Amino acid sequence: MTNDPTRPLLAVRDLGVSFTRKGAPDVRAVDGVSFDVSPGQTVGLVGESGSGKSVTSLAVMGLLPRRNVRVDGRVIFDDDDLLTLPRERMRDIRGRDMAMVFQDPMTSLNPVVPIGVQVTEVIERHQQLSGDAADKAAAELLDRVGIPDPTRRLREYPHQLSGGMRQRALIAMALACRPRLLIADEPTTALDVTIQAQILELLKELVHDSGAALIMITHDLGVVAGLCDTVHVMYSGRVVEGAQRRELFARPRHPYTGGLLASVPRLDAARGTPLHPIPGSPTDVLAWPSGCAFAPRCHHRVDACTDGPPPLENIGGRSLRCVNPLPTTEEVPA
Amino acid sequence: MTAQPSAAGADPVPTGRDQREIDPDDVLLSVRGLQVHFPIRRGILVERQVGAVKAVDGVDLAVPRGSTVGLVGESGCGKTTFGRAVLRLVEPTGGTVTFDGTDLRELDAEQMRRQRRQMQMVFQDPMASLDPRQSVESVLTEPLRAHDIGGDHRARVRELLDVVGLPASAASRYPHEFSGGQRQRVGIARAIALEPQLIVADEPVSALDVSIQAQVVNLLEQLQDRLGLTYLVIAHDLAVVRHIADVVAVMYLGGLVEQAPSDELYATPLHPYTRALMSAVPIPDPDVEESRERILLTGDLPSPAAPPSGCRFHTRCPFRQETRCDDERPALREIRPGHTVACHWAEDIEAGRIAPRESAVVEPDVSTA
Amino acid sequence: MSLSQVEAATESDQVEQPVGNLRQAAWRRLRRDPVAITGFVLIAMFIVVAVLAPLIAPYDPRDTPGAGTITPTNIPGPSAEHWFGLDEQGRDELSRVIYGARQSLLVGVVAMLLGMAGGMVLGVLAGAFGRWVDSVVMRIVDIMLSIPGLLMAIAIAAVLGRSLTSVMIAIAAVNVPIFARLLRGQMMSQRESDYVLAARSLGVRRRSIVLSHVLPNSMSPVIVQATLTLATAIIEAAALSFLGLGGADPAVPEWGRMLASTQRYLASAPHLALFPGLAIMVAALGFTLIGERLREALDPKYRR
C-alpha cells in the first residue's frame, strides 16, 4: 500500500468523552484515545460492548449529542481540529470528506422513503447534481456496490431489500460524496457470514479503488485480521494495545489482546483444542483511576497493576498500556 | 493451535477432551423426515390457506447418546424451528421424532409435558428467556415444582448455582442484576435442574461478548463430561460448532445439505454451500486470512415460501451445472463413512473436475507485503 | 440512531444496577419525579377532602344559610363567610364542592374497579385460551367498542333507572372493553416471549404459565390504564349527572349536577360553574399526571 506515513489524514490525540448526569458522577466512556489514520490506510478499532469503540467513532464524526456529553482532546483532520469547528463547517466535512456506515442498515434508512430518493438526496447535496443526472449517478452508485438491477431497486423501500442489500445501499450513500475517510461501525455484525464476506470484500475493493481511508470498528478479531493495516484494541474506554496487524496477531503484548486471541474458537483449530476464557466479564470495570481496569480479570497481573492508571507507552511502533506485558518471546503460532 | 497464556489464577486449565466413549448406534434422538410448514392464510372474512412457509422440509438427524451434534446454518434456514420442533415447542407437520424409543408426536399434552423432564433447552438471549420478575431461586425451583419433585429445593438451588459457577448469593437476585454471561449460566442451571438427558442449545453464546463466549462453551463441555449430557447445538457460528460438536450438520433453506464428523467436515467440505460458508468465516490470523481462497455467494437466501425447484442452493451455487441442479432435488447420500452430502456433483467437485465460476472466487490477497 | 448507540454505550458502562424488581425501580423513579409528585399531592388532597368532608365542610351541604338573600339575579359570589359563595338555593358552595368529592371518588373508584375486573376476565379468557375463545370474546369487545361510550352509559343508566349504582355500572361497562383489549394484547405478546417458551420447555403446566408468568408481566399497562380510567370515570360521572342521570336524591351534591343546575345562572353567578368545574379538572388531572408518569416509569423504553 502506498501511504504517506509522515502526514496522517486523521490524528486523534488524547480523546476523551464523558457522559454527565445530574446527581450522578460522570461516566468516562472514552479516555486518552490516540491514533493516526494515514490516507488510504485501514485502521481497526477492536473491542467488546462498553469498550468505547463506538463512542470514539461518534466523537470523531461529531455525532455525539451536545447535551450531557463532554468531549475533550483533539481530532485533527486536514489541519482542522474537528472538536473546535463550528457546527456548519463540521456538517460540511461530514458528508464531503468523512462518512459513516452503521451496524443496523434498517434503522439507518428511512423506512417510508424509497431507496432512490435517499441516495439521490445525498448526491444532490454534495455533488450539485439534480434531476436525471442525480438519478443516473444513484443507479451507477448502486451498481458499483453490487446491487443488481439498480434502477428497479431505486424505486423500492428499505424493507423490500435484504439485510445485505440494505448495507450495500448504505455504503453507496456513504460513498456518494467520495469521502477520504470512511468509518464503518460494526457494518457486518447484523449479517450472516456469507453476506459478511461479500460486504467485507466490497469494502476492501472500494477502499482500494477510491484511495479512501477506513476505520473499521468491530468486536471480531477475525474481521480485522483480513482487512486492517493497523489495529487498536480497546478495553473499558481506553486503547490498551495498538500495532501493525501482523505484529499484533503474532505477538500480542497486552494480556487482554492475548486473552481474546486464546479464547475465540478458531475454525482452523483441531477439535479438542482447549479454549482459554478470560474470567469475569467486561462490565465489572470502570476503575481506571485506581489502576488497570483489566487487572481483575488478568492472569498476568502483578501488584503494580493496581498502583495507578498505566500510561500508554510507545515501544517500537506499538502502543501499549500495561505495566507487565506478555513477554515478546511468547509467540502465537499460526 | 493457540498459545496458552501462563494461567495463574485463571480458570482451571481445560485440557483437550474427546476421551468420551460414544457409540454411534446408541441413538438418543432420532429425527426422520421432519417437516414444519407454517400456513400462509389470506382472506377477509373466511381465511383460506394460500401457501406455506416450509421452514423445515424433510430433515433426518440422529443424535447418539452422550455426543454433541451441531446444526449450522444462516438466518432463515430453519435451524431454530427445527430445534423447537424436536422438543414439540412448535408442532411438526410431518415426520417422526423418536426420543429414547418414544415417538414424541404420539404423546398427548400431559404425557409430553412429563416427557420434557428428559429434554431441555438453552436459549440465545439469556435476558429474554428469563422472566424479569422472577428471582434466580424461583427460576431454578420452577422446573422442580412443575414436575412435583420433592426434597430440599434450597439445597438443590445452591448445588445448581455451584455447578454453573455462580455464588450461592445469586439465588435471591433478579435477572437484570447479572451480566450477560452470568445470565446465561442461570439459563444453563435451569436447563440441568431436572437432570435431563438431552439439551437443545439454540445459539447459546452468540448474544455474549467475545471474552465471555469461551467461558460458556467450556461450561457446556464440563457439564457434558460431568452429567453425561447429550447436546444438539444450533448455531450460525461455524467455529463455535466445530469446536464443540462431534458431528456437524449444515442446513440450508429448510433442509440438510451435508453432515459429517467435525474434523472431517472442516478438512473436506463437499457441498458447495459448506465450502462457501467455511471460506466466509473470518479467522483471527492475518497469515491464514491472506493465504486462503474465498468463495463468495451471489444473491440472497430465497424465500422459504417459494423455495427454488431442484437443488435449493442452485440459485446461488458457484458450481451449478446445466443438468440436474435446476430440476432434481438431491438426496443426502453417504460419500464416505459418516459423511453425507446432498449434491449431485459432490464427487466431481471434490476431484476438481468441476470448477466454480471464476467471479465467485476471490484469490488470496498477494498485494500485501 | 446515533443517539441510541450513545445510550447503549452508556448503558453498558453503567455498573450500578438498580436492585430489586421492576416495580420497585419504577416506584423509586416516581418518587423523584416532580410531575408525579404534583399528581400525588393533588390526589392526596382529593382523597383527604372526600374522606374528611364532614370535618372540613363549614356548613351542611343541605342547609340553606342564604335562603333569604337569594334571588335568581342576585346570587352572592365568594365572601369571607362563604369562600365559594352561595348556590342558587342559598346553600354554601364550598361545602357542596367538598361533599361532591365523596360522590366523585366513590363513583370513580367503584366504576374503575368494576370495569377493570370485567375487562380482566374477558382479557384473560381471550389471552390465555386464544383460538376460538379469543375470536368470540374479541368480537364482543369490538361491538362494545363500536358504541360511543357516553351513549352506552346513557343507555345503561336509563335502563337501570336513576341511581348512583347505575352510574357506576354504566361507566364500568364503558371501560370493560378497553381493559379487555389492552390485557389481551399484552398477554398475546407475552405469550410469544422467550421466557414463556422456556417455561413450556421446562414442562410447566399451562395454567401456571398463564398465572405466574404471562399475567403478572402483562399487568403494567393495565395498572396505568386503571389510573387514567379514574380520571375519565370522574369526568364521565360528572357528564352523566350533568345530563340528569345521576343519583336519585337531588340534595346530595354531585359535581356534574351542580354544573347542570347552574346553566341558567351562568351570566349572573359564574362562580357556580367555576368551582365544580375546577374540582373535576383538578381531580382528573391528578390521576392523569400519575398515570402518564407511571406509564413511563414502568416502560423500559423510557428508562434513563
List the CATH number of the domain containing C191: 1.10.3720.10
Name A93's Cβ contacts closer than 8 Å, sequence gap at least 6: A77, A80, A82, A85
Rounded to 5 degrees, what are φ and ψ at B335?
-100, -35
Of all residues in chain B, what percent carry a pLDDT higher than 70? 92
Of B79-88, B288-297, C108-117, which gets the smallest average pLDDT? B288-297
> Which chain C residue has its CA at the smallest distance from B180's CA?
C12
Whether residues C12 and A55 touch (CB distance < 8 A) is answered with: no
Q: pLDDT tens digits, residue range C151-208?
A: 888 888 888 888 888 888 989 999 999 999 999 999 999 988 999 999 999 999 999 9
Residue numbers of C between 8 and 67 with CB closer than 8 Å to A: 8-10, 12-15
Query: For residue A133, is it within any domain?
Result: yes
Choose between A262 and C89: higher pLDDT.
A262
For residues C214 and C203, what is the distance between their CA atoms, to the nearest angstrom? 15
Distance, CA of A197 to chain centre: 17
Query: For residue A203, is it within any domain?
Result: yes
**pLDDT confidence bin for C11, thresholds 50/70/90:** very low
> Which chain B residue has its CA at the smallest distance from A161's CA?
B300
> Which chain C residue has its CA at the smallest distance from A58's CA?
C2
Whether residues B13 and A274 touch (CB distance < 8 A) is answered with: yes
Domain harbouring A103, CATH code: 3.40.50.300
What pLDDT score was predicted for residue C156? 85
- pLDDT above 80 for A102: yes
Q: What's the average model confidence in pLDDT over B122-136?
A: 91
What ipTM score was computed for the predicted complex, to two decimals?
Answer: 0.85
Q: What's the average model confidence in pLDDT over A214-220?
A: 94
C2 part of contact set with chain A, CB < 8 Å: yes
Q: Mean pLDDT across chain C, nearest whole number?
A: 82
> Mind telling me how many Å the CA of B3 is from chain C's nearest CA?
30
Q: What's the average model confidence in pLDDT over C34-44?
A: 90
- State the residue range of the domain holding A196: 10-235
Task: Note whether C246 and C6 are within 8 A (CB).
Answer: no
Is C259 exposed, middle or buried (CB count within 10 Å of its CB: 0-12, 13-18, 19+)?
buried
Of A86-100, A200-214, A285-299, B349-363, which gets the smallest average pLDDT? A285-299
**pLDDT confidence bin for B329, thresholds 50/70/90:** very high
Query: For residue A189, is it within any domain?
Result: yes
Read off the C-alpha cell for B5.
497464556
Whether residues A264 and B278 touch (CB distance < 8 A) is answered with: no
- pLDDT above 80 for A130: no
Nearest to residue C127, comparing CAs of C117, C116, C137, C113? C137
Q: pLDDT tens digits, residue range A274-303?
A: 889 998 877 544 667 778 888 888 988 898
- With vertex at residue A269, the alpha carbon angle to CA A265 and CA A273, rounded to the nearest 5 degrees, is 75
Rounded to 5 degrees, what are φ and ψ at C44?
-60, -45
Q: Mean pLDDT across chain A, nearest whole number?
A: 86
Query: For residue A288, is it within any domain?
Result: no
> Which chain C residue has its CA at the smallest distance from A53's CA?
C9
Q: pLDDT tens digits, residue range B192-217?
A: 999 999 999 999 999 898 888 999 99
Q: What's the average model confidence in pLDDT over C40-48?
A: 90
C7 part of contact set with chain A, CB < 8 Å: no
- State the residue range of the domain holding C165: 45-61+84-302
Q: pLDDT tens digits, residue range B17-72?
A: 656 778 888 999 999 999 999 988 877 667 778 888 999 999 999 999 999 999 99
For residues B310 and B302, what is the distance between their CA atoms, to the nearest angstrom? 13
Choose between A26 and A46: higher pLDDT.
A46
**pLDDT confidence bin for C16, thresholds 50/70/90:** very low
**pLDDT confidence bin for A6, thresholds 50/70/90:** low
Query: For residue A34, is it within any domain?
Result: yes
What pLDDT score was predicted for residue B99? 96
- pLDDT above 60 for B9: no
Residue numbers of A between 218 and 277 with CB closer than 8 Å to B: 219-223, 225-226, 245-246, 249-250, 255, 258-277
What pLDDT score was predicted for residue C7? 36
For residues C112 and C98, what is the distance between their CA atoms, to the nearest angstrom? 21
For residues C182 and C228, what is the distance between their CA atoms, to the nearest angstrom? 13
Number of domains into which chain A is organized: 1
Task: Note whether A29 and C9 are within 8 A (CB).
Answer: yes
* Highest-confidence segment of A49-53, B41-45, B134-138: B134-138
B337 part of contact set with chain A, CB < 8 Å: no
Task: Note whether B182 and A283 are within 8 A (CB).
Answer: no
Number of domains into which chain C is organized: 1
Choose between C32 and A24: higher pLDDT.
C32
Q: What count of CB pairs under 8 Å joins A to B?
A: 209
Query: For residue C163, is it within any domain?
Result: yes
Query: For residue C29, is it within any domain?
Result: no
Task: Note whether B283 and A266 are within 8 A (CB).
Answer: yes
Task: Note whether C232 and C213 are within 8 A (CB).
Answer: no
Q: Which domains does chain B have, with CATH numbers?
A: 27-38+50-257 (3.40.50.300), 268-362 (no CATH)
